Each structure stands twice: as C-alpha cells, then as structure tokens.
C-alpha cells in the first residue's frame, strides 16, 4: 500500500468516527421527546379516568332506578293483598270523629288515630309513617311458628287458645298490620342516601308451639266478634274500650326496604303530582315530597250518614330516589321518579256496584 493510500484510509476512518459520534439524539431532543410522550400519556390517562367516572355514574344511576322500582313493586304486591288501608286522617295521632261509649255509638267517620297505638320509638321527628294497612298473613305448613307446630291442638289446655288453635288450622291465616315509614335517621351507617324506607309489621302470634299460642304484645284481632274493626282499631266498636293492653314492641321492624330515597323536604323543580280530592283521595305523608301516597278513603266524611266502607280502595304511590352518595355521584342531578297505582283485592265489607 502506498503512502498516499494509507493517508486516505486514515482520513476516512477519522471522518467516519466523527460522524458516528454525532448520529444520536441530543439532550434537548431527548427532553422534548419525554415531554411530548408525557403529555400524550397524561391525556390518555385523563380520558380513561373520565370514561371510568362516566361509567360509574351511569351504573349508580341505573342501580338507583332499579332499587326504586324493586321497592315500589314490593309495596304494590303487598297492597294488592290488603283488606284495609288507612288514610292520613286515620293514620295520624289525632282521633277523628266521636268515639263510641256504652250509651252512644261512634260517628261513622270515627277512627282513634293509628299512631297512638304503634311503638313510641317507631314514630319520631325523623321517621314518619306513609302507608299502613291490614293484610292476611298465611301461616306456613312447616318450620318454626308453623301449622305443623300446633299438632292437633290437644296440647293446649287453655280453652280460649284451644279454640283459636282450631280456627287457625281451618283458616290457615291471620291478619297482620303493616306500616311503611320514611326515615332520615343517620345513626346506622349501613344505610346511606338522603332517606330510606323502613317496614314494620305486627303479627298476631309471636310464637306458635304444640302447647301454646303466644299472641304478640299490643295485637288486637280486628276480625273477632264483638271486638274492633279495621277502622276503629284497637278500640272496641260497641263501647269505646281500648282493647290494647300495652303498646306493641318495636321488634316488628323487619328492616330497611330501600335506601337512597330523596330527602323528604328536598327542593325539587320537577312536577310533583297532587291527589284527586274530588274523587275521595287523601294524601298520606304531607310533610314529604319524595315518598307519599294518595289513598282512596273508606271512611265517610264528617256528618255523613252513608257508610262508604264498601268501596274498593286504591292507592297511588309516588317515590323519588336520589343517587347522590353512590360511587361517582356527588350531586343531586339524578333523581329517578316512579309512580304506580294499586287496586286492593280485599273483599271484606265490599258493596257490589250496580
């Protein structure tokens, strides 16, 4: 190799090495690239978070709608079995009309005020009754407190209870008082939302065995002869005697039917339907605009001589939920509204229409 060729090779290697040293990214280029990549990743993460939040809100809204519908269906199912529903005048703590005495019969619109004969802890400033009705309760054939527990009634020595036992084996059912209340009590952290619906029931028997029938405290059978009626419960219709020896126990609360009901006094810009008073409907729970009922009364108006208890009662229930407090929902923007009308199927004292 000549000297001239060697010099050319050395020069070529020097140029090549310099070229390779400057072929990579500079520090500024790397920083700019990292910044652009970070912005893209942040934008994508923000989009994913927004999508998840929207999905969470939609799930909360759908869940609230379904819960309100399920609760409404449950109440409507029970009301269809009812034989008597109390309107607001008879469900309040104030008696209506003139009570019966040993010398005078009661006025046709008399009712003693149902709240006076319910557990004192049930009715509070944060808990109001909305629906109260009597319905037949079927006694199970087997299990605890069932017909099989009675045997042949031969083990019951008390004459009156033995007759009740025989009647129970034939009728296979008793009457139960059911009360639905709206509560804003916050002592129980299990249930959330602005308010909730609580169910209470007063059964005839707290215990059924082969040797005894234990009647629930405060229960008075409205179907017994020379006793009380559904309208005047628990006052004896013939002389005004209070047949309730003591108030019922609050243990009859069966639990919370549904939570995330809108607040009773919520500010609501939507349409809240009224009750058709001209057709005999009376609104129950006048202090709430989120859960109330319009009851077609079975009680005659004051001074009326016509007994209208033979009409079929029907109920219009209004229920509004509020998803605020569920995962992803922090405002009152979603409040599903539901309404249904129920005609009760009870046939007691019904008068056929011509």
Q: Which whole number is the average pLDDT over 143-147?
A: 85
248 touches 53 (CB < 8 A) = no
Measure CA 54 to chain center.
Answer: 28
Q: What is the DSSP string of 37-65?
A: HHHHHHHHHHHHHHHHHHHHHHHHHHHHH
pLDDT at site 115: 95
Distances (CA, A) of 291 to 12, 234, 251, 256, 270: 91, 27, 24, 15, 14
Q: Which residue has the tokens 């005047």?
A: 232
Q: Which residue has the higher pLDDT, 168 or 17?
A: 168
Q: Which residue has the higher pLDDT, 292 or 29?
A: 292
SS3 323: coil
Q: Which whole number is the average pLDDT over 86-107?
A: 90
Q: Which residue has the higher pLDDT, 53 or 41?
A: 41
- Write phi, then psi, for 177 (nearest 5 degrees): -90, 125
- pLDDT single digits (tens) 212-271: 999 999 999 998 877 899 999 999 988 999 999 999 999 999 999 999 999 999 999 889
Count of residues for the chain? 354
294 touches 277 (CB < 8 A) = no
**Strongest mean pLDDT among 33-37, 105-109, 197-201:** 197-201
For the chain, percent of residues with pLDDT exceeding 90: 47
- pLDDT single digits (tens) 269-318: 889 999 998 888 999 988 899 999 999 888 876 654 444 555 678 899 99
- pLDDT single digits (tens) 148-196: 888 888 888 888 888 889 988 898 999 999 999 999 987 777 888 999 9
Q: Place 203 in a pLDDT band, splitting at 50, 70 and 90.
A: very high
Measure CA 166 to chain center.
Answer: 36
Q: Which whole number is the average pLDDT over 16-45?
A: 72
What distance, in Å, lies between the first and last C-alpha atoms of the chain? 131
Alpha helices in 25-178 (DSSP H): 27-81, 88-91, 159-171
Q: Which residues of 154-168 are buried (b: 16+ CB within 10 A; e: fewer)?
A: eebeeeebeebbeeb
Structure tokens at 244: 């309730």
Q: Which whole number is the average pLDDT over 68-76?
A: 96
pLDDT at site 144: 83
The DSSP bridge pattern shows strands 213-215 and 173-183 to be unpaired
pLDDT at site 3: 62
pLDDT at site 6: 58
200 touches 121 (CB < 8 A) = no
119 touches 247 (CB < 8 A) = yes
- Give the C-alpha separation, 212 to 220, whole Å: 18
Of 328, 333, 337, the residue nearest 291 (C-alpha) = 337
Of 351, 344, 353, 352, the residue nearest 86 (C-alpha) = 344
Mean pLDDT of the chain: 85
pLDDT at site 300: 76
| Weakest mean pLDDT among 113-117, 134-138, 294-298, 301-305 | 301-305
Q: What is the pTM of this model?
A: 0.83
Structure tokens at 222: 């409205």
321 touches 339 (CB < 8 A) = no
99 touches 111 (CB < 8 A) = no
- Give the C-alpha separation, 19 to 110, whole Å: 108
Within 8 A by CB and 6+ apart from 271, the residues are none
pLDDT at site 354: 47
pLDDT at site 13: 58
Neighbours of 75 (CB within 10 A): 25
Within 8 A by CB and 6+ apart from 163, the residues are none
């Amino acid at each position: 190799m000549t000297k001239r060729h060697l010099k050319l090779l050395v020069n070529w290697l020097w140029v090549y090495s310099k070229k390779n040293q400057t072929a990579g990214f500079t520090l500024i280029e790397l920083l700019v690239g990292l910044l652009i990549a970070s912005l893209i990743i942040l934008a994508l993460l923000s989009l994913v978070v927004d999508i998840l939040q929207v999905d969470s809100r939609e799930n909360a809204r759908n869940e609230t709608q379904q819960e309100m519908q399920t609760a409404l269906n449950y109440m409507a199912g029970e009301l269809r079995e009812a034989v008597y529903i109390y309107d607001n005048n008879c469900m309040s703590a104030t008696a209506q009309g003139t009570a019966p005495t040993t010398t005078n019969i009661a006025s046709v619109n008399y009712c003693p005020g149902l709240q006076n004969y319910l557990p004192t802890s049930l009715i509070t400033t944060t808990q109001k009754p909305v629906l109260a009705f009597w319905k037949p309760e079927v006694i199970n054939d087997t299990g605890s407190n069932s017909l099989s527990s009675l045997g042949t009634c031969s083990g019951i020595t008390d004459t009156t209870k033995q007759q009740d036992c025989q009647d129970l084996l034939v009728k296979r059912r008793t009457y139960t008082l059911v009360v639905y209340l709206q509560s804003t009590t916050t002592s129980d952290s299990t249930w959330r939302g602005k308010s909730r619906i609580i169910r209470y029931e007063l059964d005839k028997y707290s215990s059924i065995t082969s040797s005894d029938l234990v009647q629930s405290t405060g229960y008075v059978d409205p179907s017994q002869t020379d006793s009380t009626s559904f309208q005047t419960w628990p006052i004896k219709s013939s002389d005004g005697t209070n047949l309730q020896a003591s108030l019922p126990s609050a243990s009859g609360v069966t639990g919370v039917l549904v939570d995330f009901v809108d607040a009773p006094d919520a500010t609501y810009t939507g349409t809240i339907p009224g009750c058709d008073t001209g057709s005999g409907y009376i609104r129950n729970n006048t202090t709430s605009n989120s859960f109330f009922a319009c009851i077609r009364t079975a009680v005659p108006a004051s001074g009326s001589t016509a007994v209208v208890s033979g009409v079929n009662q029907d109920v219009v229930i209004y229920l509004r939920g509020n998803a605020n407090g569920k995962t992803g929902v922090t405002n009152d923007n979603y409040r599903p509204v539901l309404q249904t009308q129920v005609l009760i199927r009870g046939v007691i004292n019904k008068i056929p229409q011509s």
